[in-house]
């Protein structure tokens, strides 16, 4: 199938922007999802329109099942067939379980895991009809190893693995691959903002002795999104500088 539409949730965020640019540069029309009233979208819309005219920024809430259904139908009708879905939107609301409020749990599960169900469920009928699709979900090293203060986030990210392996089995015979990518510490603005002494401490825990770059996640996503990666499904690609080897 020719390169058509790639839908990337969180497509103008710290890592998402690099995913958006990478797939746009490969010839996809990228629909970059963001939150309603997104300050990232406001800040980047002008620049992206100039540098990557094949990118459409689309605000919608990934946690809302009905909205995801409507957005996907709308993209299929007005932009083109969705060949690639990248579930990248995510949030953290950290706290030890002892003090974690139900809202902290619910919103992190809704945004990080229910969103994967919402979007896969929405894109799947057309992908099955066309017998082609690439679904990539961005999990995390903390979904693999757990992390102090992140029961909610780690549960959501770990949930992606079971979801991915199950869906991969359901759709493998229909030309659709389903995989996860699990980043370690990636040098986004959030990491850059951490005090240098703490950054240094974190860096020393990473065998390659540096943070990952968002381009390195984009490279993996491009690889898995490629038509020629059709024999890779139900897999997880860990990109963490050797910090956790599972």
Residue 86 binds ligand NDP, judged by CB under 6 A = no
Is 153 designated active site?
Answer: yes
Distance between CA atoms of residues 223 and 233, nearest Å: 12
Residue 61 binds ligand NDP, judged by CB under 6 A = yes
Residue 241 binds ligand NDP, judged by CB under 6 A = no
Among 34, 160, 171, 218, binds ligand NDP (CB under 6 A): 34
β-strands 55-59, 82-87: how paired?
unpaired
- In the complex, minimum distance from the CB of residue 42 to ligand NDP, in angstroms, rounded to a whole number: 9
Say if CB 12 and CB 18 are below 8 A apart.
no
Cα→Cα distances 223→36, 86, 100, 191, Å: 30, 12, 38, 25
Among 90, 133, 159, 241, binds ligand NDP (CB under 6 A): 90
Distance between CA atoms of residues 245 and 239, nearest Å: 10
Of the pair 52, 174, the CB lying nearest ligand NDP is at 52
Among 152, 164, 188, 222, binds ligand NDP (CB under 6 A): 188
Distance between CA atoms of residues 140 and 156, nearest Å: 10
Q: Which stretch, 72-80, 85-93, 167-175, 218-226, contacts ligand NDP (CB under 6 A)?
A: 85-93
Catalytic pick among 18, 28, 132, 153: 153
Among 8, 30, 85, 88, binds ligand NDP (CB under 6 A): 88
Say if CB 210 and CB 203 are below 8 A apart.
yes
Backbone dihedral angles phi then psi of residue 208, each to the nearest 5 degrees: -80, 0
- In the complex, minimum distance from the CB of residue 81 to ligand NDP, in angstroms, rounded to a whole number: 22
Say if CB 180 and CB 101 are below 8 A apart.
no
Q: Per the structure block, which two tokens stand in for 49?
A: 């329109």
Of the pair 9, 152, the CB lying nearest ligand NDP is at 9
Residue 179 binds ligand NDP, judged by CB under 6 A = no
Beta bridge partners of 56: 31
Among 118, 140, 164, 179, binds ligand NDP (CB under 6 A): 140
Of the pair 34, 132, the CB lying nearest ligand NDP is at 34
- How many residues of this chain bind ligand NDP (CB under 6 A)? 27
Residue 159 binds ligand NDP, judged by CB under 6 A = no
Q: Per the structure block, which two tokens stand in for 34?
A: 């963001």
Q: Per the structure block, which two tokens stand in for 47?
A: 């620049």
- Count of beta carbons in the 10 Å neighbourhood of residue 214: 20
Residues that bind ligand NDP (CB under 6 A): 9-10, 12-16, 33-35, 38, 40-41, 61-63, 88-91, 111, 138, 140, 183, 185-186, 188
Known catalytic residues are 153
């Amino acid at each position: 199938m020719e390169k058509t539409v790639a839908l990337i949730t969180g497509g103008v965020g710290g890592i998402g922007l690099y995913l958006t640019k990478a797939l746009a540069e490969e010839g996809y029309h990228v629909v970059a999802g963001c939150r309603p009233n997104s300050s990232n979208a406001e800040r980047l819309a002008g620049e992206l329109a100039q540098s990557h005219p094949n990118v459409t920024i689309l605000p919608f809430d990934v946690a809302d099942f009905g909205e995801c259904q409507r957005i996907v139908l709308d993209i299929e009708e007005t932009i083109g067939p969705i060949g690639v879905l990248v579930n990248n939107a995510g949030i953290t609301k950290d706290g030890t379980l002892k003090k974690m409020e139900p809202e902290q749990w619910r919103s992190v599960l809704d945004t990080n895991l229910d969103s994967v169900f919402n979007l896969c469920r929405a894109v799947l009928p057309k992908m099955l009809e066309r017998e082609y699709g690439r679904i990539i979900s961005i999990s995390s090293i903390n979904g693999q190893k757990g992390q102090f203060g992140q029961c909610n986030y780690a549960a959501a990210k770990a949930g992606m693995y079971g979801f991915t392996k199950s869906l991969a089995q359901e759709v493998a015979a229909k030309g659709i691959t389903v995989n996860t990518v699990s980043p370690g510490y990636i040098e986004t603005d959030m990491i850059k903002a951490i005090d240098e002494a703490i950054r240094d401490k974190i860096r020393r825990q990473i065998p390659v002795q540096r943070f990952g770059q968002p381009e390195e996640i984009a490279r993996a996503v491009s690889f898995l999104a490629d038509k020629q990666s059709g024999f890779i499904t139900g897999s997880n690609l860990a990109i963490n500088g050797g910090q956790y080897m599972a």
